[in-house]
Amino acid sequence: MTHCSTIRLDNLAVNFDDRFQLTDINWQIEPQQHWVITGTNGAGKSALAAILAGVINNGAECLSGTVEGLPARVGLVSFEAQAALIDAELKKDDADIMDVISEGTPVREILYEDCQDTELAEQLIEKFGLELLLDRSFRKLSTGESRKVMLIRALASKPDLLVLDEPFDGLDTKTLGMLQQHLATLIDTVPMVMVLNRFDEFPDFITDIAYVEKGTLQHQVRRDDARAYAELYQLLHLKTTDLTIPTADSENAIPSLDPEQPLVRLNNITIKYDEKKVISDLNWTINPNQHWQLSGPNGSGKTGLLSLITGDHPQCYVNDIFVFGFKRGSGESIWQIKQFIGYVSTALQWEYRVGTSIRNVIISGFYDSIGLYSKSTDAQKGIADQWLALLGMANRADQPFNKLSYGDQRLLLIARAMVKHPPLLILDEPCLGLDGMNRQLVLALIEKICAGSETSVIYVNHHPEDQIKGIDNYLAL
């Protein structure tokens, strides 16, 4: 039986030293649940864990909202707590400086300071191999050793809630195994909240995951919701891995363009259907390395305008259009145009109803085709695999595309569009139809692309919140 009741954090905002704030925290922890808090570095994971350990009014200030149901006895293991203890020890040293040279507090004393279960403490001391260190001064321990002390201290304090902030960091494999085993024996008695960064470290008994980003609790996912769990994995993967965009295919490079020439120049463009003009007399020049945002209400002709550039709109032949060194309608083929463009839109996704493998979907970007109809080279396969690794889909390379979730398909189509490092990447409402998590995934990927390549981006969207860093030219229809 646990002694913990439901813990509720409602509309909570907390100020930490004016350096960091948590805002809009709404969270409920049930007695039978075991949570992982995860997120990128600096997102506020440890801060959120610290609230459960009682940091409010004890180093942090509550700006608004309430915390209810926090148990009296919380076992806390964290780097901060460890550092604070060592700090305190060092301060003692300073204080004693005039006196006899201090040996500092022995490990034994630290361990039993708060101990509620001597038997357990002794068992753990033995298991963790700390017997020989009991009389050593705490501050003289290595980081790993002092971490073990902190763990035993917390576990033997008979807590009503265990808060473990990166508990596995710095432990050798043997100790790690032992600790995980021990934690597994506690799951019916103590609810646990762990801060962990790596999905592969999540213990099996974890029931729920909280994803923290920019000081707020953005997603709460149940472990048994397989799809949401997989998406969260990808999001964390994209956000935390040090991404580098795979190189282009050096064997089949895109012809180089004259850097002095604009990529696209549209002169007095008109698009009309049944004599009704949707766009008239529009001029637009896109120079190399410019990023553009294109906006406008539904039906304002955004997609039509873009398809004049890609060559998919038949009226590109009756307008004055210059793209990638070609005057349209002068004997060039659309494949000569498309080789310079990466393109993603909802319509493309609809058309891309193909049962081919997701690796082939990425490779099809080299050929601008829907489906793959050419023999791909080993180099291309290698690049596709790098993209799949980047997307966190390396283990799914041979799965059929049409069986994937909508969000995964979108990510793959963005990778397909980028695989050849096109001079121009057109993203026509890339987040349309995606839920919050998939939106973030897509935006995270696009941001990496904008930052890491020579590609000019045209970004079409409705949503002011879907901003992309680095876009500074705007065209509104």
Nearer to another protein, 189 or 357 (CB): 357
Tell me the closest approach of the beta carbon of residue 353 to another protein, in angstroms.
Answer: 6
The nearer residue to another protein, 19 or 375, going by C-beta atoms, is 375
Stretch that binds another protein, among 209-217, 367-375, 388-396, 431-439 (CB under 8 A): 367-375
The smaller minimum CB distance to another protein, of residues 174 and 403, is found at 403
| CB-nearer residue toward another protein: 123 or 315 | 315
Among 130, 372, 390, 424, binds another protein (CB under 8 A): 372
Residue choice 303, 364, 438, 461 for contact with another protein (CB under 8 A): 364
Q: Does 267 bind another protein (CB under 8 A)?
A: no
Token duo for residue 464:
């002011």
**Both tokens of residue 226?**
């397989």
Binding mask 400-419 for another protein (x = CB under 8 A): --x-----------------
CB of 179 to another protein, least distance (A): 48
Helix residue spans in 419-468 (DSSP H): 436-451
Give whichever of 120 and 370 is closer to another protein, judged by the CB atom.
370
CB of 304 to another protein, least distance (A): 13
* Contact assessment for residue 293 and residue 461, using Cβ atoms and an 8 Å cutoff: yes
Closer CB to another protein, residue 33 or residue 310?
Answer: 310
CA distance 240 to 474: 30
Nearer to another protein, 214 or 353 (CB): 353
∠ CA 437-440-445, nearest 5°, is: 130
Residues that bind another protein (rule: CB under 8 A) add up to a total of: 31
Q: x/- site string to another protein, residues 72 to 111, per CB under 8 A?
A: ----------------------------------------
3-state secondary structure of 312: coil
CB-CB contact of 448 with 237 (8 Å):
no
Count CB-CB contacts under 10 A for residue 470.
12
CA 286 – CA 62 distance, rounded (Å):
50
Closest CA to 13 of 167, 217, 192: 217
Q: Residue 278: which H helix or E strand, with range?
A: strand 276-286
Distance CA 295, CA 471 (A): 13
- Report the C-alpha gap between 256 and 76 in whole angstroms: 59
CB of 344 to another protein, least distance (A): 16
Closer by beta carbon to another protein, 272 or else 469: 272
Site string for another protein, 312-351 (x = CB under 8 A): x-xxxxx------------xxxxxx--------------x
* Cβ atoms within 10 Å, residue 80: 16
Cβ atoms within 10 Å, residue 34: 22
Binding test (CB under 8 A) with another protein, winner from 28, 369, 409, 453: 369
Stretch that binds another protein, among 16-24, 177-185, 288-296, 363-371 (CB under 8 A): 363-371
Single out the residue of 39, 246, 311, 422 in contact with another protein (rule: CB under 8 A).
311
- Kindly tell me which of 170 and 400 has the beta carbon lying closer to another protein: 400
CB neighbour class for 380 (10 Å; exposed up to 12, middle 13-18, buried from 19): buried
Q: Please identify, using beta-carbon distances, which residue of 318 and 451 lies nearer to another protein.
A: 318
Q: State the nearest-atom distance from the C-beta of 158 to another protein, in Å.
A: 57
Burial class (CB in 10 A: 0-12, 13-18, 19+), 429: buried
- Smallest distance, another protein to C-beta of residue 399, A: 13
The strand pairing partners of 225, in sequence order, are none
Segments in 194-243 forming alpha helices (H)? 226-240
| Contact residue for another protein among 368, 408, 429, 466 (CB under 8 A) | 368
Which H/E stretch holds residue 378?
helix 378-390
Q: Which residues of 348-374 are buried (b: 16+ CB within 10 A; e: fewer)?
A: bbeebebebbbbbbbbbbbbbeeebee
Binding site for another protein (CB under 8 A): 273-274, 311-312, 314-318, 331-336, 351, 353-356, 360, 364, 367-373, 375, 402
